[in-house]
Structure 1
Amino acid sequence: MDVRRISPATAEADDAGPDREAVPFARTEICAEARQAAQRVLASGWVTTGPETLLFEREFAAYVGAAHAVAVSSCTAALELALRALRLPPGSRVLVPTLTFCGTAHAVLHAGLRPVLVDVDPDTGMPAAPQVTAAVAATGRPAAMVVVHLAGAPAPLDELAQAADLPLDLVLEDAAHALGTYVGSRPVGALSRAACFSFYATKNLPIGEGGMVTTDDAELAAQVHRGRLHGMSADAWRRYQPGATWQYTVEEPGLKANMTDLQAAIGRRQLLHLPEWQRTREALAARYTAGLRDVPGLRLPREPAGGRHAWHLYPVRVAEQEYGRERDLLIRQLAARGIGTSVHFLPLHRMPYFRRTALCPTGGFPGADALYPGLLSLPMHPGLTGRQVDAVCRALRELGPDPEGPR
């Protein structure tokens, strides 16, 4: 992938350029310091979980305001390990939004639990209290809930927990999109029992792969720490230190889901650039909104009334009748102009596997079914320039309804 350092100023660039400049949907930004740190770790003789991972955990916990952070192999592994740490009876029901990445529900199933799919508010793409109440009424009281901060928008945690009749101790956050999200005045990271983050190549803090569990609960953190390495009482780095013992034991099942020092070294240096990258994302989102606010048939994401949006994604909704063409045709036409887009997400209840394995309320999913056909995520990453945003806006205007009449 193309990598380079960027500045928030690129979001305001107005320099002239070709009308049909290619605009990738996403691109991984790896700073020069991270590449140097990776080389240092490769030369150190120790590349798996070790001192760099420990430092990354401490620095990340401080960034999000959590007491503890445990680095793992992915956000999906983070969710599974956090769910296992709740020690729920096998088969317990866990509320999950139907509009989320499939990994959210896979984590519930792999933890030995049963996902209960919850419809979403078509205005936000996330469940609100009425959808949670309806799911509980149809399937029974849940044992826990996973809240997803979709696209980086803050989900109303307290409202959702109250609607599910659950304490926040039984609520986990899928924060794959939410590094930099604030719920009210507090950053996502220690608002519920645990928050689970992603460092996938397209995320706000890209490493390539990796995840993190953050929590204020020392025992949950300790369980995740053991669970990420087969349930072993001591990891290799501690066993192989001078004077240490090789001995360890296993008291419960675990996963092979640790982070390597190579990843952690990259993450530590990337974290230093995150505030700058977040400011760039905010500027890009504002430029999109300014360029598209008056295009008929496009529904734009809104700034949250309370809290802060991380702008992991800039998702619009295409109203086919008003805009004049359906979403999938628009995707193909944008691709022909060199503009990459995506859809977040295909609802879980439309996938055969989850129709078999999850509980689905009898009332169906009218909110998600109304929202999904128009969902379209536009290019959003800190390497994006203002000129590229303008090109995307221009293409959407040209492909949209003719203000002077029918085409």
Structure 2
Amino acid sequence: MRDTYLPYGKQCIDENDIAAVVDILRGDYLTTGPSIVNFEKSVANYVGAKYAVAFSNGTAALHGACYAAGITEGDEVITTPITFAASANCVLYQGGTVVFADIDSQTYNICPTDIEKKITSNTKAIIPVHFTGQPAQLDEIHALAKKYNLVVIEDAAHALGATYKGEKVGALSDMTMFSFHPVKHITTGEGGIITTNNKEYYDKLIQFRSHGITRDPALMKGNHGPWYYEMQFLGYNYRMTDIQAALGSSQITKLDGFINRRKEILAEYNEAFVHIPQVQIPYQLPYTDSSWHLYVLKLNLDQLTVSRKEVFEELQKLNIGVNVHYIPVHTLPYYQQLGYKKGSLQNAEKLYEEIISLPMFPLMQDQDVNDVIEAVKLVIGKVKK
């Protein structure tokens, strides 16, 4: 059908982005310069948060958030299995224990009722993931956090620009992580950020991303002179470069346009698939506005003559770059070695068997969208007359 391969996601880079990066390459700072602060301010302002701390990638940012939250050996953190492994790995980095709560079968996000069932005296935090860009049920999650004195770290890798009850995701919980991988809403190549309204968390994050080192006289135990610095705890080299930050500052000026294009593609997909019995279009809570990082189509397998694997393979043959998001984290070999059991999270495991992600990114042309629609219809069979 198509002569060229259409990926499921792709960055959108224009000449202004390229010029912003070239300016840095011709300037004095390549890393840890003023572009970092400028980018942090632009993200904080966009989401309405007081502070933002940029990291080398989203995983590093989540690790920093877990450190700032004080997660350590013996602490439990509850998150969803329908996510990328980083949402759970960040807890393990700190010596904590990951506890998975099942998902809501309608929204595909973590289920607040199951969260409460998993809370123990060792629970320290909740990491809800805004899967595909749709915010999780934050009111219910915040109520649980208040009741049990828990920290909430939103994994909003998919949700830059999303809103919850009219407010932008990014300033609603203790900390929020955004990712700037090339398939996300904006890109810095690799990169991530934590937004927060908490000055204590902000200070910890700044120091954590740079080896645990500070040059702030107010924090140091001594001072040998203007060259002096102190390493006060074991941090990491998780700094973002000025090159990345300059790209991010350029990209964020176009973010709303990127999201609008994603919504246009969503509308076309939904219109095409809503009345086809073999598939189910995504559901959105009425009080959220998703930023639509992914378009996840659910296959009604009992009405198909082909398996999900066959659907995937046939679409790939037609140059439609579908994907599957995600393999439930607790079923991955490493987590199986840690003692997590298949069959323990039935909604998540059932969903995994039924879903497929269709291409969605701002550079898609109308013909690209039509190609995806026609390919899906061809593979799953025509609507019954």
TM-score, reference length from structure 2: 0.93
For residues 151-180 of structure 1, what are the alpha-carbon distances to aligned partners after superposition, in whole Å with 9 as ceiling and x for unaligned? Answer: 101101121243466568611000100101
Residue type of the alignment partner of 2:365? T
Which secondary structure state, in structure 2, belongs to the residue aligned with residue 192 of structure 1? coil
For residues 115-140 of structure 1, what are the alpha-carbon distances to aligned partners after superposition, in whole Å with 9 as ceiling and x for unaligned? Answer: 1011112222112222213333xx66
Inter-CA distance 168–212: structure 2 relative to 1 (3 Å threshold): farther
Aligned pair 1:74/2:92, yes or no? Answer: no
Inter-CA distance 314–352: structure 2 relative to 1 (3 Å threshold): same
Residue 299 of structure 1: how far off its partner (Å): 1.0
Which secondary structure state, in structure 2, belongs to the residue aligned with residue 115 of structure 1? strand
Mark the runs of 5 or more structure 2 residues left unpaired by the alignment.
217-224
Alignment of 1:153-168 (within 5 A): 153-163=134-144, 166=147
Match of 1:357 among 335, 338, 344: 338
Residue number in structure 2 paired with 1:395: 375
Residue 76 of structure 1: how far off its partner (Å): 0.9
Mark the runs of 5 or more structure 1 residues left unpaired by the alignment.
1-17, 236-243
Residue 199 of structure 1: how far off its partner (Å): 0.4
Alignment of 1:339-350 (within 5 A): 339-350=320-331
Residue number in structure 2 paired with 1:263: 244
Residue number in structure 1 paired with 2:113: 130
C-alpha distance in 2 between matches for 1:273 and 1:108: 33
Residue 90 of structure 1: how far off its partner (Å): 2.1
Inter-CA distance 201–402: structure 2 relative to 1 (3 Å threshold): closer
- Alpha-carbon contact 1:152-1:178 (below 8 Å) kept: yes
Aligned pair 1:311/2:278, yes or no? Answer: no
Residue number in structure 2 paired with 1:14: none
For residues 61-94 of structure 1, what are the alpha-carbon distances to aligned partners after superposition, in whole Å with 9 as ceiling and x for unaligned? Answer: 0001000000101111111111111123422000
Residue number in structure 2 paired with 1:326: 307
Match of 2:275 among 273, 294, 317: 294
Q: Percent identity?
A: 32
Residue type of the alignment partner of 1:110? Y
Residue 234 of structure 1: how far off its partner (Å): 3.3
For residues 38-69 of structure 1, what are the alpha-carbon distances to aligned partners after superposition, in whole Å with 9 as ceiling and x for unaligned? Answer: 11111113201110001111111000100000
- Alpha-carbon contact 2:159-2:178 (below 8 Å) kept: yes
C-alpha distance in 2 between matches for 1:377 and 1:363: 23
CA root-mean-square deviation: 2.0
Match of 1:374 among 350, 354, 360: 354
C-alpha distance in 2 between matches for 1:52 and 1:267: 9
Residue number in structure 2 paired with 1:3: none
Residue type of the alignment partner of 1:131? D
For residues 288-333 of structure 1, what are the alpha-carbon distances to aligned partners after superposition, in whole Å with 9 as ceiling and x for unaligned? Answer: 1011111222111123310210100000111222132211111110
- Alpha-carbon contact 1:61-1:214 (below 8 Å) kept: yes
Match of 1:34 among 12, 17, 24: 17
